[in-house]
Amino acid sequence: MSLRDLLDELTRIPGVRGALVVSREDGLVVADSLMESVDGKAVAALAASLTGRMAGVTAALGQPEPRAWQLQGSEGTLLAAPGREGLLVVALANAEVNAGELRIRLLNVAGRAA
């Protein structure tokens, strides 16, 4: 199954505007499935940067890095889960998305993306 096929499992969820596989270290897009209005490069760079920051918080607490995170804005949400081999799976969605379902699928995809 290609990375694009994996991402399509996320974009099929109503409210999801885009899903990407990102290189964590570089913040560059590895694969994406995006609606036209979504700036994939920006999502990739910012999500990777935020993931690094969060790892800094958990490291300060002597804990492993987060296995998933969600940033909720007033008009949309961003979720991400580190995958294997330095990859990060990211989903961008509307505020109305079923975040619980998206989180479960995201973790599933992150476990398989490589």
Partner 1 sequence: MRSLEPWVEAPLTTFLAESGARITLLTTSSGQVVAQHGFTHSLDVMSVAALGAGIIAATSELARVMGSPPLEAVVHQGNALGIHLAGFDTPRGRWLGLVVYGKETSLGLVQLFFGRLVEELGRVAPPEQPVRQVLAEDFEHELNSSLRSLFGR
Partner 2 sequence: MTVDDIQALTAQLARDPSSLVFLPLAEALRRRGQLEAALAIAISGATRYPEMAGAYDLLARIQSDRGEGDLAFDAWTTVLRLDPDHVGAHKGLAFLSFRAGDFPRSLRYLRRAVELRPKDEALRAALGRVETTAGVRAVPGFDRTAPDPLRALEAEPGLALLVDPQGRPLAGGVFDSRGAAASDEVAAALAGISREAERTTRLLGLGAWRRLSLEGGPAHFELRTPTIDSVLLVTRPREVPAGRLALLADRAAAVARRWLEELR
Residues that bind partner 1 (CB under 8 A): 22-23, 25-28, 41-42, 44-46, 48-49, 52
Contacts 24+ apart (CB under 8 A), 42-47: 43/18, 43/78, 43/90, 43/92, 44/20, 44/90, 47/20, 47/22, 47/78, 47/80, 47/88, 47/90
Nearer to partner 2, 5 or 72 (CB): 72
Nearer to partner 2, 3 or 80 (CB): 80
Contact status, residue 44 vs residue 31, Cβ threshold 8 Å: no
Binding partner of residue 25 among partner 2, partner 1, none, CB cut-off 5 to 8 Å per kind: partner 1
Q: Based on the shown chain and the rule CB under 8 A, indicate whether residue 69 belongs to the binding site for partner 2.
A: yes
For residues 64 and 82, give the distance between their C-alpha atoms in angstroms, rounded to a whole number.
12
Q: Based on the shown chain and the rule CB under 8 A, indicate whether residue 104 belongs to the binding site for partner 2.
A: no
Applying CB under 8 A, which residues contact partner 2?
39, 42-43, 46-47, 49-50, 53-54, 56-58, 60-78, 92, 95, 103
